[in-house]
C-alpha cells in the first residue's frame, strides 16, 4: 500500500457580465490510488429558384437507420451546456454511447476501447489530423458553420476506410442564401464571427474567424489578484479561419470549395513537478478541398473531390532531469487525396462505388539540441512517403423486413522513396519514387437490420478494417506531440475485426427510445515505444525499435432517450473492457489498456421553460484511466531504481463532473436575433486528475488538476 501526495487545485471564481476572472488556491491532500492485478437515402427533390437544405431527425431513425450510422442532430447538441462560452458539437460526441470520456482538457475520442488515432475525422471530406485547440478545450470546428455531422461507430460502410474505430464526417454550409447571413459570439475567453455572402442567385461565399484571448484578459487579471505565478506564467491561445464558396452550375450540379487554417500557441512557463521549464508548443492544421457534385437523374449521381491537409507541430522542451536540454522537436504530416463516388439506385437496391487515391508525407520528428551533451543527437529522421489506392463497392437493399448492406473495400499501399535505411553495415539509400514496401488487404463489410415491427428492430454487423497511418503519443500532458508513423519497411498496418449487434426499441409513439448494443473488436499490429523518450529522440530510425502487439475490446452500451416535450435528454451507460498484449511488456501477459474505462455514464437533460428560456445540464462519470506507477524505489550507486508491479495495474480516481447552462433569447433588436448564455463547468468544483507523475527527486507521486469550477458568459447574435 502506498500513499501519494498530490496537488489539488481548488477554484474560487467571481464573475461579472463585463469582466471575468478565476482565482486558484493550492492545497495538499493524501490519497490512496486503487490497484488491482446513412444508410444513404436518395429522395426525389424539386428545386425551384434556390436550393434549400432541410435537416431533421426522423421519429424512428434509430429503428430504421442503416449501416452508415446516424446523422447527429447538430442543433440539439448545440443546446447542451457550453464550455467556456462556446457550444461544441464535436466535443459533445463524448456523451454518445460507445465513446469514452476523454478526461480533463482532452477532446479525443476513444470509441469502443480503440485508440484516439483510430478515428477518421473529416471536414467536408478532408482529413483533419488533430481536431483540437488549447489542450482539448475547443475543437477545430466552428459551430456556426456546421450543417451536418455524421457519426459511425459500427457497421462502417465500404466508402469509408483508413481507420479502425469510427468516422466523424462533418459538413459546413453549402447553400446559396437569399441575403447576407452573419453570425457571431462575444465571450469572456473567446469570440467568433462568420458571414455567408450571396454574390448572385447561384454563387455565394462564406468566411469566419475565431480566436481566444485568455493570455490578454484572464491571466493578467489572475496575476493582479495574486494567483499562483506558476499558472499565470502559462499561455494558451488559438485562432482559426474558414473560407469557402458554393456555385450552382445548374439545379443538378454544384461546385463546393473550402479552406481552413488554425494555429495554437501553448507556453508552460514552469511546470516544476515534471522538471520541465520554459516550454513552448505551437501547432496547426491546414485543410483545403473542392467538390463537384452532379445528379444525372433520380437514379444516378456522382461526386468528385480533391483535398489537401497538413498538420505541423513544434515543441521546445527543457527537460532538466535528462541530458536533452533544451530540445526542439518538429513533426509534420501532409496528405493529398482524390476521391470519386458514384451512386445508382435500381429497384430495391442502392449501389455505391468509387475509388480513392492518396499521397502521404510524414516526418516523424526533427530534433535540435541547443546544449552540448554526451548523447549523440540524430538531427533528422528520414521522411516516410507513401501512396495508397482503394477501390470500393457496396450494395444496400431491402427485402421484406430485412435490410442488408454488403460491401468490399480493396487497398493497395506502398512506401516510396526517397528513404534512407540506416544499417550497421552501411546505409541503404532509396531514390525518389522508388518502391520500398507494399501492403494490400481486403476489407469485407456486412450489415443487416431486421424490423420486428414498427417500434423495434435488431441490427448486426461484421466489418474488417486496415489502418496505414499511425500516431504514437510522445507525452501525456495535453500537447498533441504524437509521432506520425505510417506503415513502412519496418511498420505493418493496423488491422481489426469489429462485430456488433443490438436491439432497438421505441415507446409511447416514438417519444422514448431504448437500445442495448454489444460489441467485440480485435486489434492487430498495435505500436508502443520500446525505449525512453531520450532514446527515442536519439535513435536514427526509431520505427525499427517499436514494439508490436495486439489487443481486443468488448462490452455493452445501454441508452435511454426522451425525444419530445419540454423535457428531453438521454442516459447513456457503457460497460467495457480493453486489453493489450505485447511480448516485451508485462512478460507477455495481457494487460488493461491505458484508456480502459470499465464504467462510463452520461446523463443529459434539457428543459424548454418557455419560448425564450431554456436550461440544460450534463453529468458524466467514468472509471479512471489505467497507468503505471512504482510500488517501491531504492538507490543503488546514487541512482534511483524503481520497482513496478503488473503493467497498468493502477487505476486513477474516477472522473466525474456536472455542467449546467442557461440560454435566454433576447427580443429582436434592429433585425438582430441574439441570446445570452450563462454556463458553469464543473459545478461542484470536483478536482479531476489531469496528470499523474512520479518524482524520483522527491520520491513522491503527484496528481495535478487543471480545471476547477469555471463559469462563462457569452452573447451570441444572428443577423
**pLDDT, the chain, mean:** 80
116-125, 306-315, 349-358 — which one is most confidently predicted on average? 349-358
CATH architecture entry for 4-585+679-714: Beta Barrel (2.40)
Question: How far apart are alpha carbons 620 and 99 in whole angstroms?
Answer: 12
At 586, give phi and psi (nearest 5°): 60, 35
> What pLDDT does 356 receive?
97
Instruction: Please tell me what DSSP assigns to residue 220.
Output: H
167-186 pLDDT per residue, tens: 999 999 888 998 999 999 98
As a whole number of angstroms, the distance between CA 623 and CA 110 comes to 14
Find out whether 596 and 647 touch, Cβ atoms under 8 Å: no
**What residues does 645 pair with on adjacent strands?**
none
- Residue 102, Cβ density class (10 Å: 0-12 exposed, 13-18 middle, ≥19 buried): buried
Which is more confidently placed, 322 or 341?
Answer: 341
pLDDT one-digit tens code per residue, 660-687: 999 999 998 888 899 998 888 888 888 8
Q: Return the closest-CA partner of residue 610 out of 557, 650, 664.
A: 664
Is 268's pLDDT higher than 50?
yes
The answer to whether the beta carbons of residues 224 and 19 sit under 8 Å apart is no
| Spatial separation of the C-alpha atoms in residues 182 and 194, rounded to whole Å | 6
Q: Which three cell numbers stand for residue 369?
A: 539540441
Predicted local confidence at residue 375, as pLDDT: 41
Model pLDDT, residue 670: 84
Whether residue 188 has pLDDT greater than 90: no
Average pLDDT on 110-126 reads 91
Of 122-136, 497-511, 519-533, 688-702, the poorest mean pLDDT is in 688-702
Task: Please report which confidence band the pLDDT of residue 85 belongs to, taking 50, 70 and 90 as the band edges.
Answer: low
- Considering 273-287, 291-305, 632-646, the range whose residues carry the highest mean pLDDT is 291-305
To the nearest whole percent, how much of the chain has pLDDT over 90?
42
Q: How far apart are CA 425 and CA 406, in angstroms?
A: 50
Tell me the CA distances in angstroms from 476 to 106, 448, 650, one per residue in order.
Answer: 10, 40, 16
CA distance 714 to 716: 6
* Bigger pLDDT: 451 vs 317: 451
Q: How far is CA 375 from CA 339, 468, 544, in A?
A: 46, 32, 19
SS (H, E, C) 344-379: EEECCEEEEEEEEEEEEEEEEEEEEECCCCCCCCCC
pLDDT digits (tens, 9 = 90+) for 681-715: 888 888 887 777 766 666 677 776 767 777 888 89
pLDDT of residue 59: 67
Q: Does residue 489 have a pLDDT over 70?
A: yes
Exposed/middle/buried for residue 342 (C-beta within 10 Å: 0-12, 13-18, 19+): middle
Distance separating alpha carbons of residues 462 and 38, to the nearest angstrom: 17
State the average pLDDT over residues 597-609: 92
CA-based nearest residue to 108, from 98, 119, 123, 122: 119
Asked if pLDDT for residue 101 goes beyond 80, the answer is: no
Q: Fill in the DSSP letter of residue 510.
A: T
**Predicted pLDDT of residue 90:** 84
Contact yes or no for 611/631 (Cβ under 8 A): no
Lowest mean pLDDT among 73-87, 447-461, 543-557: 73-87
Q: Note the pLDDT tens digit of each residue in 362-381.
A: 887 665 555 444 444 444 56
- Interval 221-240 mean pLDDT: 63
116 near 109, Cβ under 8 Å?
yes
Confidence of residue 72 (pLDDT cuts 50, 70, 90): confident
Average pLDDT, integer, range 244-250: 94
Q: What is the pLDDT of residue 330?
A: 74
Tell me the pLDDT tens digit for each residue of 574-589: 999 999 999 988 889 9
HEC string of 586-606?
Answer: HHHCCEECCCCCCEEEEEEEE
* Cα 586-589-594 angle, rounded to 5 deg: 65
Provide mean pLDDT across the span 460-473: 91
Q: pLDDT at residue 509 above 80? A: yes
Highest mean pLDDT among 311-320, 381-390, 550-559: 550-559
Rounded Cα distance between 166 and 231, Å, is 36
Q: Please give the full DSSP string across 666-687, using - where no structure is assigned.
A: PPPBTTBEEEEEEEEESTT---
Question: What pLDDT, on the 0 to 100 scale, is given for residue 422?
Answer: 77
Q: Check residue 143 and give its pLDDT.
A: 87
d(CA 407, CA 670): 54
Per-residue pLDDT, 359: 96
Give 606's Cβ-side CA count (13 Å radius). Answer: 19
pLDDT of residue 247: 96
pLDDT of 438 > 90? The answer is yes
Buried b (16+ CB within 10 A) or exposed e, 138-168: bbbbbbbbbebbbbbbbbbbbbbbbbbbbbb
Residues 6+ away with beta carbon under 8 Å from 453: none
Sign of CA dihedral 343, 346, 347, 353: negative
Burial per residue of 452-462, b for 16 or more beta-carbon CB atoms within 10 angstroms, e otherwise: eeeebbebebb
Amino acid at each position: 500500500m502506498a500513499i501519494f501526495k498530490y496537488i489539488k487545485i481548488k477554484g474560487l471564481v467571481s464573475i461579472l457580465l463585463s469582466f471575468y476572472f478565476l482565482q486558484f488556491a493550492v492545497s495538499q491532500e493524501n490519497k490512496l490510488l486503487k490497484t488491482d492485478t446513412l444508410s444513404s437515402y436518395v429522395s426525389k427533390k424539386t428545386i425551384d429558384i434556390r436550393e434549400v437544405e432541410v435537416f431533421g431527425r426522423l421519429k424512428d431513425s434509430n429503428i430504421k437507420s442503416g449501416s452508415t450510422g446516424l446523422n447527429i442532430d447538430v442543433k440539439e447538441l448545440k443546446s447542451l451546456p457550453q464550455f467556456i462560452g462556446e457550444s461544441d458539437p464535436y466535443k459533445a460526441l463524448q456523451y454518445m454511447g460507445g465513446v469514452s470520456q476523454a478526461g480533463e482538457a482532452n477532446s479525443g475520442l476513444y470509441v469502443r476501447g480503440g485508440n484516439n488515432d483510430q478515428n477518421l475525422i473529416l471536414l467536408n471530406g478532408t482529413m483533419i489530423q488533430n481536431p483540437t485547440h488549447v489542450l482539448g478545450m475547443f475543437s477545430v470546428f466552428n459551430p456556426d458553420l456546421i450543417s451536418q455531422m455524421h457519426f459511425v461507430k459500427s457497421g462502417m460502410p465500404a466508402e469509408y476506410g483508413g481507420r479502425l474505430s469510427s468516422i466523424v464526417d462533418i459538413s459546413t454550409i453549402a447553400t446559396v442564401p437569399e441575403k447576407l447571413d452573419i453570425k457571431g459570439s462575444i465571450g469572456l475567453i473567446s469570440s467568433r464571427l462568420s458571414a455567408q455572402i450571396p454574390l448572385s442567385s447561384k454563387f455565394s461565399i462564406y468566411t469566419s474567424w475565431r480566436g481566444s484571448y485568455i493570455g490578454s484578459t484572464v491571466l493578467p487579471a489572475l496575476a493582479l489578484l495574486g494567483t499562483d505565478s506558476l499558472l499565470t506564467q502559462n499561455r494558451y491561445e488559438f485562432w482559426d479561419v474558414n473560407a469557402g464558396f458554393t456555385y450552382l452550375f445548374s439545379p443538378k450540379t454544384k461546385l463546393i470549395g473550402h479552406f481552413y487554417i488554425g494555429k495554437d500557441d501553448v507556453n508552460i512557463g514552469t511546470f516544476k513537478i515534471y522538471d520541465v521549464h520554459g516550454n513552448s508548443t505551437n501547432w496547426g492544421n491546414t485543410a483545403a478541398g473542392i467538390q463537384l457534385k452532379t445528379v444525372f437523374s433520380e437514379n444516378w449521381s456522382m461526386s468528385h473531390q480533391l483535398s489537401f491537409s497538413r498538420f505541423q507541430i513544434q515543441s521546445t522542451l527543457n527537460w532538466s532531469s535528462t541530458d536533452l536540454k533544451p530540445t526542439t522537436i518538429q513533426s509534420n504530416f501532409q496528405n493529398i487525396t482524390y476521391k470519386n463516388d458514384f451512386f445508382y439506385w435500381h429497384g430495391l437496391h442502392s449501389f455505391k462505388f468509387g475509388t480513392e487515391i492518396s499521397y502521404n508525407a510524414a516526418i516523424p520528428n526533427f530534433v535540435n539540441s541547443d546544449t552540448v551533451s554526451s548523447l549523440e543527437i540524430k538531427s533528422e529522421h528520414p521522411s516516410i512517403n507513401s501512396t495508397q489506392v482503394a477501390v470500393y463497392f457496396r450494395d444496400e437493399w431491402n427485402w421484406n423486413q430485412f435490410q442488408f448492406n454488403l460491401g468490399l473495400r480493396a487497398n493497395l499501399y506502398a512506401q516510396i522513396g526517397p528513404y534512407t535505411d540506416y544499417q550497421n553495415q552501411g546505409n541503404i539509400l532509396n531514390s525518389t519514387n522508388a518502391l520500398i514496401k507494399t501492403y494490400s488487404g481486403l476489407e469485407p463489410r456486412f450489415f443487416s437490420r431486421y424490423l420486428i415491427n414498427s417500434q423495434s428492430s435488431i441490427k448486426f454487423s461484421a466489418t474488417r478494417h486496415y489502418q496505414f497511418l499511425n500516431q504514437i503519443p510522445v507525452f501525456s500532458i495535453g500537447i498533441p506531440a504524437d509521432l506520425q508513423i505510417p506503415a513502412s519497411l519496418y511498420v505493418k498496418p493496423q488491422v481489426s475485426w469489429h462485430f456488433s449487434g443490438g436491439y432497438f426499441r421505441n415507446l409511447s409513439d416514438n417519444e422514448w427510445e431504448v437500445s442495448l448494443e454489444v460489441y467485440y473488436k480485435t486489434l492487430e499490429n498495435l505500436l508502443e515505444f520500446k525505449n525512453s523518450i531520450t532514446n527515442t529522440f536519439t535513435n536514427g530510425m526509431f520505427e525499427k525499435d517499436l514494439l508490436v502487439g495486439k489487443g481486443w475490446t468488448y462490452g455493452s452500451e445501454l441508452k435511454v432517450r426522451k425525444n419530445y416535450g419540454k423535457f428531453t435528454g438521454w442516459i447513456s451507460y457503457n460497460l467495457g473492457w480493453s486489453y493489450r498484449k505485447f511480448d516485451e511488456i508485462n512478460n507477455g501477459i495481457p494487460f488493461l489498456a491505458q484508456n480502459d474505462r470499465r464504467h462510463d455514464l452520461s446523463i443529459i437533460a434539457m428543459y424548454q421553460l418557455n419560448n425564450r428560456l431554456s436550461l440544460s445540464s450534463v453529468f458524466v462519470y467514468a472509471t479512471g484511466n489505467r497507468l503505471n506507477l512504482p510500488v517501491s524505489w531504492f538507490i543503488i550507486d546514487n541512482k534511483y531504481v524503481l520497482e513496478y508491479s503488473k503493467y497498468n495495474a493502477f487505476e486513477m480516481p474516477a472522473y466525474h463532473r456536472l455542467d449546467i447552462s442557461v440560454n435566454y433569447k433576447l427580443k429582436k433588436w434592429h433585425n438582430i436575433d441574439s441570446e445570452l448564455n450563462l454556463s458553469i463547468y464543473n459545478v461542484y468544483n470536483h478536482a479531476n486528475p489531469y496528470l499523474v507523475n512520479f518524482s524520483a527527486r522527491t520520491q513522491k507521486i503527484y496528481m495535478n488538476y487543471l480545471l476547477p469550477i469555471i463559469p462563462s458568459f457569452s452573447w451570441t447574435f444572428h443577423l
